[in-house]
């Protein structure tokens, strides 16, 4: 993987340029979409703040957050507990509501992918970088493993 691609993230002058550059990297890695999401708690604030940036389809993000899927999504929950990347498999989408969520995402073109955890003690928060494509979850695993080794 060409390291200059990642350097371009640092050169972005605004959110639009950052999104465009990150999407370009995601595509170079063989993914259709990316998402950067962070949940953090400011000192003295009673509830967490949330920040998202990415190219997941807006229709999916609206549904995802309105239905509270963030509270049952096994890849997100694992990212908040661990620093190990989560490669999506059908086994992780096994509870009835989670199966429905995964099928719904698949109908929009989000089937396979990986989530890379982000932990920030100084922000008192955690989050992830998600990369997804339309390839069947289990069939995407070899591509994800190979890609992670090169990125």
**What does the block give as tokens for 84?**
């190990």
- Given this model, what pLDDT does residue 85 score? 93
Domains in the chain: boundaries:
31-150
CB 50 within 8 A of CB 113: no
**Which fold would CATH assign to domain 31-150?**
Beta-Lactamase (3.30.450)
Give the pLDDT confidence score for residue 4 in this predicted structure: 66
CA angle 144, 12, 111 (to 5 degrees): 25
CA–CA distance, 90 with 14 (Å, rounded to integer): 37
What's the pLDDT score for residue 7?
84
Would you state the pLDDT for residue 143? Answer: 77
B/e letters for 50-59, b = 16+ CB within 10 Å, e = fewer, are: eeeebbbbee
Q: Please give the model's pTM, rounded to 2 decimal places.
A: 0.87
Report residue 143 as tokens: 């591509």
Output DSSP code: residue 148: H
pLDDT score for 147: 78
- The whole-number pLDDT of residue 97 equals 96
Q: Are 28 and 77 in contact (CB under 8 A)?
A: no
Mean pLDDT, contiguous 10-residue spans, the chain (151 residues): 72 91 91 92 82 94 94 94 92 94 95 92 87 87 78 61
């Amino acid at each position: 993987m060409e390291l200059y691609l990642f350097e371009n993230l640092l050169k972005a002058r605004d959110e639009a340029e950052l999104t465009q550059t990150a999407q370009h990297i995601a595509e170079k890695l063989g993914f259709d979409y990316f998402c950067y999401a962070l949940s953090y708690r400011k000192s003295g604030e009673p509830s967490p703040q949330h920040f998202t940036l990415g190219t997941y389809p807006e229709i999916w993000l609206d549904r995802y957050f309105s239905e509270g899927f963030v509270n049952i999504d096994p890849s997100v929950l694992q990212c908040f507990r661990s620093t190990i990347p989560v490669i999506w498999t059908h086994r992780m989408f096994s509870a009835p509501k989670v199966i429905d969520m995964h099928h719904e995402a698949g109908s929009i073109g989000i089937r396979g992918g990986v989530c890379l955890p982000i932990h920030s003690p100084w922000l008192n928060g955690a989050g992830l970088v998600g990369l997804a494509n339309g390839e069947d979850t289990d069939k995407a695993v070899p591509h994800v493993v190979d890609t992670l080794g090169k990125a």
